[in-house]
Amino acid sequence: MPNRLMIVVTHLLGTGHLSRALALAEAFAGRGWSVDVVSGGRPAPHLGSGGATLHQLPPLASDGADFATLLAADGSPADAGTFAARRAMLTGLFDRLRPDVLITELFPFGRRALAAEFDALLERARAQTRPPLTLASVRDILAPPSKPARVAETEGRLARFYDGVLVHSDPAVVPLEDSWPLTPAMRPLLRYTGFVVPPPPAADGGTDGQGEILVTAGGGPVGRPLFEAAARCAASGALPHRWRLLVAKDDWAGDGAPAARLRAMAPPGRLVVEPVRPDFRALLGRAAAAVGRCGYNTALDCLTVGVPSVFCPFEDGKEVEQTMRAAILARRPGIAMLREAELTPDSLARALASVLGRRIPPLDPASLAGAARSVGIVETLLAEKRR
């Protein structure tokens, strides 16, 4: 009987956390594991399943960058009944699946608003006669804790429930301590995997997007300022390239939707506006340059493909992760950082002019094998736990 892995992830703003969880799922499934991914964010069918069985909790989303206010599927504030239903479904799934390995994505370093359901799951796992190997999974940069008590709280949960922490980064590029204060008790738990990215897209013979400027930025208020600046830049003719904006499906409803307004800003010969596409990475490989936020997946897609890039990090609320990542990556040739406070069609054109024609130096291939290395690390830890 194959080993069974259960990954629990809730993406609240964008789909990066779910995308990374599915990349891990695909790597484990490819090694013969039975994989279940429990998603607590809004459905994202364009991401596929990663070879896993997907289980959907009653979905939640953040109210913009306000992660303390969570919204239910109908857009209203989530109530106690929603949280209770999620908690019951999550523990029920654990009882039914009985995984050999349990991975919680981001928690306990983040998702404090969901602590009750994670704690219920972790207590259920800990109470088993043979508890599963329990691991946290975190990206390269975390939101720094706002007070020392947050660090102590995280350390307490790690000591009580966890066997290790998978850090999806290369410490030579972005060590975790750049964003999170590591205590002596935490350090032995860390297992650096390298970055979790899909392999570079295979040549598909397509020509869509060849030599264009490709813009992605997420949906709603997160992406709107960047999309609008890009559309106005396209209309200005400041650069000779055609622009292609990939806009989230939530921005397509009705004639007055944001996507329709963007499309009207410039003629089709200069601007294409279309929904997010599953072949995004192939488009990226054909683009003259890319413009986007600087989330983990977007940044690594650009690095893997080697496309000249302008990163405009999302900075609303207390978000600092993307700004930190963009500042680190902008030290590399072919990458520019443009702060949102400075974002205009003209400043975007200047930033693009500074990177067009320059390729990004490739990262060490070993540092991009984070999904495969995660499988090896988990298999080793599981064998040690079973001894």
Q: Within 10 Å of residue 320's Cβ, how many Cβ atoms?
A: 16
Select 213-362's CATH number: 3.40.50.1000, 3.40.50.2000, 3.20.20.140, 3.30.70.360: 3.40.50.2000
Task: Return d(Cα 13, Cα 17) in angstroms, integer.
Answer: 9
CATH 3.40.50.2000 domain position(s) in the chain: 4-195+367-386, 213-362
This prediction has a pTM of 0.85
Residue 255 pLDDT exceeds 80: no
Domain 4-195+367-386 has CATH 3.20.10.10: no
Strands 61-63 and 66-71 turn out to be antiparallel
Residue 134 pLDDT exceeds 60: yes
Give the pLDDT score at 219: 61
Residue 200 pLDDT exceeds 80: no
Question: What is the band of 315 on the pLDDT scale with cuts at 50, 70, 90?
Answer: confident
Give the pLDDT score at 256: 57
